[in-house]
Chains A and B, each alone.
Chain A
Amino acid sequence: MAEVEKTKENLVYAKNRLLTDVVMHYCPGCSHGTIHKLIAEVIDEMGMEEKAVGISPVGCGVLAYNYIDCDWAESAHGRACAVATGIKRMAPDKMVFTYQGDGDLAAIGTGETIHACNRGENITIIYINNAIYGMTGGQMSPTTLVGMRTATTPQGRDINLHGYPFKISEIAAMLDGTCYVTRQAVNTPANVRKAKKALRKAFEKPMKGQGLALIEFVSTCNSGWKMSPVAANQWMEENMFPEYPLGDLKERD
């Protein structure tokens, strides 16, 4: 059996140069790592390394600036869209994106998010929806599924007490300011490839001045869900995807 030499001409996939060598603090199997990788690859392929400005949120993604080698700003909890609006208006040639979880974007930052979508700011929102407050220990978030057990809903989410899961992508798709709203996942190689194409589109469309692009990643939080990474991916396929179906919700030129 012939050996495959580990040389440059045989290389097909390696860690992107925009990902730093810092070991990520995320739990094993966390979707954040895969999404960071896609962001780095897309920025590199677009040649926007010098022009990309990320806004990191409060949540597990707060340390994203340690992992992706582009410009970053840190915002107060939930206010990433407001900070991104300011940066984009002052420097329209920059590719401004926010990276927010459901606790940041869909809870405390709902007002900023919806108004940024409605104003049609030329920014990209990357929204990680894992249906839980991951960083603070797995409490219920607005996107928690009905009946889902969390640290603050030990009997499962009750619609009479806590209401229904909050679908911010559907709301954003209805607003006139958004040009591209899509929902993706990174649980399988096929979904990772699809998500990368969608992410590239979500970065390109606001740069053409078409409006705001929102890309939601349905993700896992295996520590918060108290599962192994593989079981969490399976649980997500069985329970999250029926509630948050994948695919494009809106595309406008």
Chain B
Amino acid sequence: MAKVKGTIEVDRERCKGCDVCVVACPFKVLSLAPKVNGKGYHYSFMANPDACTGCASCALVCPDSCITVYRKVVE
């Protein structure tokens, strides 16, 4: 059966670590990094990339528009 796979790219320097995308993700893909970016925020990253379906829920709620979403149908 065809499966939809997704991946995201987070603009680490724009991210303010607000945690809203982590909560919005229905598959618990995202998490806040233990490291910080240039402004001292714990940026968001894909802690569980295999579960991502590219639904773009994280990107929709991101206030700083730092998430780009890609999606592909794989066999």
Residues of A within 8 A of B (CB): 1-7, 10-16, 19, 23-24, 26-34, 37, 186-189, 192-193, 228-230, 233
Contact = CB atoms under 8 A, between A and B. Distances in A.
A41 to B, nearest CB: 10
The 4 closest A-B pairs by CB, nearest first: A33-B63, A29-B18, A28-B16, A28-B18
A19 B65 contact: yes
B33 interface: no
Contact of B57 (A27, A31, A189): A189
Interface in B51-75: 54-57, 59-72, 74
9 contacts: A4-B7, A5-B72, A10-B71, A11-B70, A32-B63, A37-B65, A188-B24, A229-B19, A233-B20
B72 to A, nearest CB: 5
A6 B56 contact: no
B63 A11 contact: no
A13 B16 contact: no
Interface string B23-59: 1100000000000000001000000001000111101
Contacts of A193: 60
A221 B9 CA distance: 27
A1 B56 CA distance: 20
